[in-house]
Structure 1
């Protein structure tokens, strides 16, 4: 098990990048790697400590392939930090029952935002695929923020 850490600079102000994670309409517009999407009607979010984040990522070519997310927000600081814990006990070979996701938003020069995503504990065997998935999702988010 490892900590999966992904850093990305977005050419958009911090409050807009934060909103892309906290607003269900925006999340539906970009979340999931290319070839996957999150139907808006599957999203139920209450972005506050103790609030839930529930949605389903669906394969665009084969909707029977789906990946449900059921998480609880444990720490939220508007425009700065979102921390959640996801039940991953249903994922074979994951090696843990809970996955902690920490999303940090930092102001950068020129109105840009540095995003740092940390997932832990994370199985090393799944890390490369997860990095590719986040990268692909962030390419979609770049277009939304442009």
Structure 2
């Protein structure tokens, strides 16, 4: 992952029409994560998602661009896991040091009527709406997450 800067950061906030426990599971269960841990038009390599959502646990997945076969492996370490409210984890390419990797914080807040507010914050990598890069990639993935959650609560 290039273009990193320790001072760069961005936040995306979403509200999902799903209970917080369901959103939590989407972040912490391998089968659920495999459905949305990628932007639209990118896929997850079969069998590549592994999640050990506990402090010190690791996760890994590989996105694939079906148009040209380019693979994007991603790994990280969970620094904080507070079910079903908060996740803090590193976000890097394999081989990058965990100590200098960008850090993702996901806070989930229960709202009325079984809705959940998700505050996603990425520190250590720049992003802005329309960048056709990291911000837009995560934003697109959250669209898929919303669709997945909507299908589960019907």
Q: CA deviation at 1:86?
A: 2.7
Equivalent pairs, count: 141
Moved over 6 A (4+): none
Unaligned stretches of 5+ in structure 2? 1-6
Q: Deviations over 1:45-69 (max 9, x none)?
A: 1100000011111112222x11111
Kindly indicate which of the two structures has a greater share of residues assigned to helix: 1
Correspondences of 1:52-131 after superposition (within 5 Å): 52-63=58-69, 65-88=70-93, 97-123=100-126, 128=131, 129-131=133-135
Q: CA deviation at 1:124?
A: 5.2
CA–CA separation in structure 2 for the residues paired with 1:10 and 1:78:
17
Query: How high is the TM-score relative to the length of structure 2?
Result: 0.82
Correspondences of 1:8-87 after superposition (within 5 Å): 8-63=14-69, 65-87=70-92
Unaligned stretches of 5+ in structure 1? none
Greater shift in the superposed pair: 119-128 or 130-139: 119-128
How large is the RMSD of aligned CA atoms in angstroms?
Answer: 2.3
Query: How high is the TM-score relative to the length of structure 1?
Result: 0.86
Kindly indicate which of the two structures has a greater share of residues assigned to strand: 1
